[in-house]
Structure 1
Amino acid sequence: MINFRPIARVIAVLLMLIGGMMLFGIPFSLYYESGDFWALLNSGLISIITGGALWLIPIPGTTNIKKREGYLIVALGWLAMVTFGMLPYLLSGVIPDVIGAFFETVSGMTTTGASVLTDIESVPKGILFWRSLTQWIGGMGIIVLTVAIFPLLGIGGIELFVAEAPGPTSDKLHPRIRETAKRLWQIYVGLTGLLCIVLLIAGLDFYEAINHALTTMATGGFSTKNASMAYYDLPQVQYPIIFFMFLAGTNYTVIYFGLKGKFKNVWQSDEFRAYLTIVGLLAVIVTLAVHNNTDLSWEKAFRDSLFQIVSIITTTGFVSADYTSWGNALTMLFFVLLFLGACAGSTSGGIKLIRHLVFFKNSFLEFKRILHPRAVIPLKLNGQVVTGRILTHIIIFLLLYMILFVIGSIVVAALGLEFTTAVGATATALGNVGPGIGGVGPVDNFAWLSPPIKFVLSILMLLGRLELFTILVLFTPYFWKSN
């Protein structure tokens, strides 16, 4: 039987945290006199009061979190965060319709970066900061943050961390889950602060620097400019963004080993080596193609190519150039990259490289098994044998992902989108990338889509961010059985 007491308690804490974070936009509202003070204050108070009331409701049960409670907390917690997270948009009138506000908030929390705002630069500064903050909150997952403080509330969190942590990796920075969550957030906060300082040195003012630091480390891609990062067409700005996007797409365990000086452990990661190799090879190929097909200099061609490759692979979604203008072949290449994703255990979305790596390694070994049917040929990753259960899990994930992509594309096409835009919108929503192809390309917007299409894409964004199983398991009869 499901124990609803910890579910209510955790959601209550989440709402109070979300409400408190909404208030962070108030100083910017007051400084810039942008007129969104009351919208932020009222939204924050509503969330805090609702969370406090939910905490005080006497619900029978224990505070122990098991598997079922963990998955319900993640699903319902994200739904609650999105529902209350759209209040600033609605109360300020920046996005007056519920579906549009829901889409923008889901896109923020899932770090997708797709937007329905047509003139970002006219949005009040406090609301715009909240928009960036939604991505930073969702980047590592606010639920992982609450795992670190659950012991103070008398609530255990191992099952919750398993349900929320991005990717299939089981690497731990520390044997205790609370310490793992704290170290993840220390790295996350530290890198965000460091990037903010770098951008300040590069010439951005504090408001622009903090917003872009938040959305870069979250691999989110929300910008304060209509032209995204193309507005800052400067090497001293774009190269640091590229580097930190790459870092944000790296497994945080690998980053931790790097910070500790354990570079042997870093290089032993098959996934990280594949990540570095793919980015390097693609940078060379795309740079050559862009330089030959345009009048850009070698440096500009390289910077634009590398920026867009890292942005799409890490699912950040920042735009420094229109890759759909580079020809059909490169447009198709970037469409394929929508399905790649960076490393597991990072803030990026998508399928993740480790799943592709396992799939292709196993496919290659299958040819050897055909030639040697009696031989036992195990699949190894990072020097360790990949168990049959993990292999099955990954293959099923890939199959479900493609099935959802096909179904999503059919649904949004039936709702009125032409083929290219339908597959582009579905792929970028499910992969939490942001820009796609067709009518939702890197220089386009999602505001023109109908409310039903926005709602479908919002659901796909949530499914992609929570890696399919966390949501889909709730719709199986096994989940609700008492045994």
Structure 2
Amino acid sequence: MVDLTRSSERRRQAPRAVSQLRPAFYIASYFGLILSIAMVVPALLDAADGEPTWSVFAVSSASVFCVSLLGVVSLREPVPGFTPRFGFLLTTTLWLFASVVCAIPFWLSPLDMSPAAAYFESMSGITTTGATVLSELDAMPRSFLLWRAMLQWLGGIGIIAIGLFLFPFLRIGGMQVFRNENSDRSDKALPRLVSVTRALCFIYLFISVSCVMVFAALGMSIFDAICHAMATVSTGGFSTHDRSFGFFEDARILWAAVVFMVLGALPFVAYVDLSVRGRFTIWKDWQARTFLLGIILVSVTLAIWLQHTRNIPFQEALTQSAFNVVSVVTTTGFASDDYAVWGPFAFGAFFILTFIGGCSGSTTGGIKVYRFIIVFQALRRAFTRLVYPNAVQPLRFGDRIIEQDVYDSVIIYFIAFFLVYGLTILMLSLAGQDFITALTGAQTAFTNVGPGLGETIGPAGNFAPLGEFELWLLSFIMLLGRLEIMTVLILFTPVFWRD
């Protein structure tokens, strides 16, 4: 009898996931208000340029504002206490809601975009993927180019926030290794979450403004500098030109972009530590050190390859190699050249780099460096145990011992990643896409890189030739990759919706 009573009490205390949809939509409505205000900026730019498309953003802004305000008023109720279930639901709801809202100006525009294409472009921006269905960017109204850059900039700060504050507590793919225990305040750069958030936003804005100033000083127009800075710091990859960074033909601009792409790919919590406590801990971070050394090694290797296969000076080869390697490994997706034609070695190298990604707590996508480190440590331990079966060798991440649940989360992430990746390749192939397009299209969407490989979706192409089904599918895959897979997939399990 006591057990039955306790069981019924637990059921009453644990809210059903369906009941938490209302507060999730309530919070999403506030985000809708913010996005509606953001739409005013490209509308004003169009009005200043004398473009009639200002009405597209004006109508979109007014519509989203009214609907969101209605949601705030009608759905208002106390927000439940944070639980993992509510965290999963809220995160996915916010990203889906934002991508729908941000797709409205594309759909209403004179760019002749279908709902699937508009949603794909919006999801690509919000998830900082950088894949596009648009061409002839040089002749496009500046408002849409600015809107694309704004989406990536907002998506970049959003993924930093949930990556640092939410994912570790949801135990997503080993992210709990970066969680600071409540009993240990010494590792916290600031004692309060609000203060940390404020510091992160300031640092993100400071790096973005610095990038604008550097690009403008090196010869970009103010508009190009603003748009490319937002896409660079967020590691998004949307450009205002069809040739991307190849349009500028200036090595100084390419190297400046390399610096800011790397800054966007490093853990932002280290910047908070530096700005608040004056401690330079980036080089002490094992994943940051591995990431930087890996970039240098691959860039120099590819530069030597280019020098010998294309007969170009080493300095030029290093510039092209470093820019495109950093662009791919940070999942930015800019291109200064069509690296798909650099030869089979370069083709294979970029295919592998697309999987890696940057550091945790950054704006990058991909599998992330720290997961590869943990898997490598596990592999090394397995070899040791083959020789010394009784040896006790704990897994370590820097000076931390990796707990079993962290290791399990990483392995589950890898299993889920390659399972979904394989199924996506099959579905794209069934839709009629050639193998290279299916292989790299699934890969680049899942890792949020942007351009794939091959003639269709390579650095010199885009995703416009793909059909409606492929665009909807890849939009969903971009969301899966951005939200660490399990955050979205768990919503499709019956256990999530039970009491």
Classify the TM-score, shorter chain.
Answer: over 0.9
Shift in Å at residue 64 of structure 1?
Answer: 2.9
After superposition, the Cα gap between the structure-2 partners of 1:21 and 1:60, relative to the gap in structure 1 and judged at 3 Å, is: closer
Equivalent residues of 1:66, 1:159 under 8 A apart: no
Taking the aligned partners of 2:75 and 2:128, their CA distance within structure 1 comes to 35
Residue of structure 2 in register with 1:196 after alignment: 212
Taking the aligned partners of 1:164 and 1:347, their CA distance within structure 2 comes to 19
Taking the aligned partners of 1:348 and 1:259, their CA distance within structure 2 comes to 21
Amino acid at match of 1:479: F
Amino acid at match of 1:417: Q
Residue of structure 2 in register with 1:150 after alignment: none
- Comparing 443-452 and 166-175, the one that deviates more: 166-175
After superposition, the Cα gap between the structure-2 partners of 1:208 and 1:458, relative to the gap in structure 1 and judged at 3 Å, is: same
**Counterpart of 1:220 in 2: which secondary structure?**
coil
Amino acid at match of 2:465: W
Residue of structure 1 in register with 2:419 after alignment: 403
2:131 to 95, 108, 114: 114
> Are positions 1:256 and 2:272 aligned together?
yes
Taking the aligned partners of 1:119 and 1:16, their CA distance within structure 2 comes to 31
> Are positions 1:170 and 2:179 aligned together?
yes
Paired residues, what number? 472
Shift in Å at residue 179 of structure 1?
Answer: 2.2
Matches within 5 A, 1:352-431: 352-431=368-447
Shift in Å at residue 236 of structure 1?
Answer: 2.1
Matches within 5 A, 1:106-255: 106-141=123-158, 144=161, 162=169, 168=175, 169-170=178-179, 173-255=189-271
Shift in Å at residue 58 of structure 1?
Answer: 4.6
**Counterpart of 1:338 in 2: which secondary structure?**
helix
> Are positions 1:303 and 2:319 aligned together?
yes
Amino acid at match of 1:230: G
Taking the aligned partners of 1:129 and 1:165, their CA distance within structure 2 comes to 33
- Comparing 461-470 and 83-92, the one that deviates more: 83-92
**Counterpart of 2:282 in 1: which secondary structure?**
helix
Equivalent residues of 1:409, 1:422 under 8 A apart: yes
Greater Cα radius of gyration, structure 1 or 2: 2
Taking the aligned partners of 1:103 and 1:469, their CA distance within structure 2 comes to 21
Coordinate RMSD, CA, aligned: 2.2
Residue of structure 1 in register with 2:3 after alignment: none
Equivalent residues of 1:40, 1:127 under 8 A apart: no
Equivalent residues of 2:174, 2:406 under 8 A apart: no
Task: Give the TM-score normalised by the residue count of structure 1.
Answer: 0.93
CA deviation vs aligned residue, 1:241-295 (integer Å, no higher than 9, x gap): 0100011111112233344585652222110110011001001100000111113
Residue of structure 2 in register with 1:453 after alignment: 470
**Gaps in structure 1 of 5+ consecutive residues:** 148-156
After superposition, the Cα gap between the structure-2 partners of 1:11 and 1:162, relative to the gap in structure 1 and judged at 3 Å, is: farther
After superposition, the Cα gap between the structure-2 partners of 1:397 and 1:331, relative to the gap in structure 1 and judged at 3 Å, is: same
Amino acid at match of 1:30: A
Taking the aligned partners of 1:21 and 1:309, their CA distance within structure 2 comes to 33
Residue of structure 2 in register with 1:8 after alignment: 25
Taking the aligned partners of 2:91 and 2:150, their CA distance within structure 1 comes to 19
Taking the aligned partners of 1:333 and 1:82, their CA distance within structure 2 comes to 32
Residue of structure 2 in register with 1:285 after alignment: 301
Task: Give the TM-score normalised by the residue count of structure 2.
Answer: 0.90
Amino acid at match of 1:398: F
After superposition, the Cα gap between the structure-2 partners of 1:167 and 1:11, relative to the gap in structure 1 and judged at 3 Å, is: farther
Shift in Å at residue 324 of structure 1?
Answer: 1.0
**Counterpart of 2:355 in 1: which secondary structure?**
coil
- Comparing 160-169 and 13-22, the one that deviates more: 160-169
2:87 to 52, 57, 70: 70
Residue of structure 1 in register with 2:183 after alignment: none
**Counterpart of 1:344 in 2: which secondary structure?**
coil
- Comparing 369-378 and 266-275, the one that deviates more: 369-378
Equivalent residues of 1:29, 1:126 under 8 A apart: yes
Equivalent residues of 1:167, 1:352 under 8 A apart: no
Taking the aligned partners of 1:188 and 1:325, their CA distance within structure 2 comes to 35
Taking the aligned partners of 1:388 and 1:475, their CA distance within structure 2 comes to 26
